[in-house]
Structure 1
């Protein structure tokens, strides 16, 4: 009988320890080597800017980001590899893949003869032997490879580093790709107007696409009911955001984009933002628990995005990373990345002050 009791006690003890919390916060206290620094910049989506938006107003913000001197820049764009994968699994992602987040890379394939997997392989191979002083022909060729790999922002990084006279067709770039690159320089996009510009000014060769939509495509029987429930939750929590929106619009109208980014990256504004969105969704009382599904999809997306950022810097301990992402992601990014070993979150307010 005694031996049975002892065995049960040991079993219960083992079961309890299996669920015990392990504190990882001090795991890297005695780490040998440098700490990776990550600055997460929450952004508005510049595609929503008014028609009279003056892109020159971004210059003070860009100057601050260049002064941080990141060696890796990530953006909220879909990796070409993931877009290619989604197209190969219509049963999971539908006949359109991950559209509209992914564009069709047909023009890049026409110009180079490479599909996305082959173009990705060629970009990796090219970057491994990339010279310190590349010629314009090499930059044009790499830009073409990036476009075939469905990585237009990295292609733009190469394009912006070309002298104006060298921004022309040739070395893999045909007229269609040149037109696409020129169009991207005129588009209101944080990827093109901030990330690519910062990367080009610092002499970087690419940016890293960190977005992910493989986990937030919530599968519900009644999509209309799902959307209605989430919208009702948002509407019920909209009042606290009205003065915040008014302040944002006033800063945009005044052309104070640095002030805007200081404002939206402040903890109080970010807290109000996520309270009116995700906390509101969690209060949804639909019998299907649509709000919880929505937040689960959101958190899955953030987990996978953070993993992409971690992977981008994994072979370069001690590097400085700039991650530009929609401001609603920033609290999740700061929290999740801040738990990683050998990594420190940089205070965005300190950089922008």
Structure 2
């Protein structure tokens, strides 16, 4: 196996030579089995990923996001529809597309006997072009652990080694499948910084994650899959635009504050575990009116919590719709 350290970068198209659309899928379908046992995991989705953005693909359990990702990566065949990745078919044109992509799978498979540097050199030998093992390991801040055997690395360090291998070919397109699963908050923050640096260099990133704050922090656009279909798509602002904003609070002692007449409320005030809960479509106006009313009435508000709509709120609404359907059935 060759261990040369070529630093030749893969070809990148010049301005105007290639479309700004890196991934495009139309009516994409993927089924398993046949006949009465057939199961359609992906049910005719449309998907567009633009050059230089981070696109987060989220989904409830069994939503079809892994099946979708495998098709985009060229690891699985579609059952219907069309898909283009970097201007070609990810399966038929794999020899041309694969060198231009990096893939970080949910779980990496390392040889326990190898050190960090041995692992990087072995992977380097499989690549048609590479930034080199040393540069890749330095990029993920593992250059001080070169002689350490892989089993001795922490979980966060192993994930960074995974990322170093995915980045070694200097990819135009990077797939990250649950990149921070199981990591502690500090290791997760380090990985986020590495991804942001890659985005700043112009790489396009497709991310799947169960950490919704990860998608909120990193993604330019988000799609939420449910039962094989995309049910929400757009920027974070687009996705939460129709969700209510919430204010909750208690009042000191037995004081009571009438709130039914506050402006912009979307429903009657609710009471949850001794707290008054308001839903509004104008958080600032309702909150200002609430504090003014409390001041005028001489009522002291405690435990005030005011928040804009969140991705978690939308996601739980999607997941809750499935539970409602199951309960009805």
Q: Same fold (TM over 0.5)?
A: no
More helix by share: 1
State the TM-score, normalized to the length of structure 2: 0.26
More strand by share: 2
Structure having greater relative contact order (Cα 8 Å, sep ≥ 6): 1
State the TM-score, normalized to the length of structure 1: 0.25
